[in-house]
Amino acid sequence: MVKGSDLKVDKKKCIACGACVASYEELFKFDEDGKSEPIADGECEDCEIADVLEICPQNAISKKS
């Protein structure tokens, strides 16, 4: 289980490629600039955090500490 509230996106690194939104539509949406942001109340029952972090070619997704 991965929750959107566990995730953050570094918008300086995000190139708006859309990979995270395409693969994990429960967890990410585009903001008004076309960059990704976590959906605060989003959840993915069958997701693994490592897979979610790996989807980003820019390493822009991280886990909130």
H/E element, 17: none
27 binds ligand SF4 (CB under 6 A): no
Q: Of the two residues 17 and 43, which places its CB atom closer to ligand SF4 in the complex? A: 17
> How do the residues of the chain divide into helix, strand and coil, expressed in percent and rounded to 5?
20, 25, 55
Q: Is position 16 an interface residue for ligand SF4 (rule: CB under 6 A)?
A: yes
Report the nearest approach of ligand SF4 to the CB of residue 36 (Å).
Answer: 4
Q: Is 58 in the site for ligand SF4 (CB under 6 A)?
A: yes
| Gyration radius of the chain over CA positions | 10
